[in-house]
Amino acid sequence: MSTAQKQGEMISTASRQLEEVIANAMKKIGTKSENVICRYLPTQSGGYMHHFTLRKMKHHAPEELGEMIKTFIINAQKPATVPPKQRAARGSRKKKDQIVLTKSDIDRILHMARAIGDKEVIRKLSPKKELKHLKRELLSSIRQNRVETELWNAYAENVVHQPTE
């Protein structure tokens, strides 16, 4: 018998034993899902084991996984779930120096900028339109004999700042 065949038999024996250990653990916990076992297995980084890690260990380190399951579930008097790892709250990575403005706030500032004629603020706060939409609106206003300086300024600004191809 070659070494490859011996290793194959050892792996299959280890995986069969691991399946039995997992089945016993599932029975002790009272679940039908293997993923629930993860909540009873702690990790070095804190919290419980991720179900992807359980799958990886099943194939790459079945002996180690079997020992963990025996220690924390099967041999434990009363298996206890591991509290989840503390994670940062959602939105906690937002920059603290940024001002959050609502759409109504921006509209009010834009209205004040138009009232005093601050073209720079108007340009920065005005919603950006595509060149083809600006052309269409500009032609429509010309056909209707309306003069819209804001529209013309937006068109001119767009043409000036458009990347050349």
Single-letter amino acid code for the residue at 83: P
Which DSSP string do the residues of 41-92 spell out, in sequence order? Answer: -B-TTSSBPPHHHHHHHHHH-HHHHHHHHIIIIISSSS--PPPPPP-PPTTT
For residues 101, 107, 108, 112, the Cα torsion angle rounded to the nearest 10 degrees is 120
Question: Among candidates 73, 82, 80, which has minimal Cα distance to 45?
Answer: 82
Which DSSP string do the residues of 113-155 spell out, in sequence order? Answer: HHHHT-HHHHHHHSPP--HHHHHHHHHHHHHTT---HHHHHHH
Residue 97 has pLDDT above 90, yes or no: no
| Tokens 């025996």, located at residue | 70
What digits encode the pLDDT tens for the residues 100-149? 888 889 889 988 988 998 878 887 887 777 888 888 988 999 999 988 88
pTM: 0.49
What digits encode the pLDDT tens for the residues 64-85? 999 999 999 999 888 888 888 8
Single-letter amino acid code for the residue at 49: M
Residues 6+ apart with CB under 8 A from 159: 131
Lowest mean pLDDT among 42-51, 54-63, 136-145, 148-157: 148-157
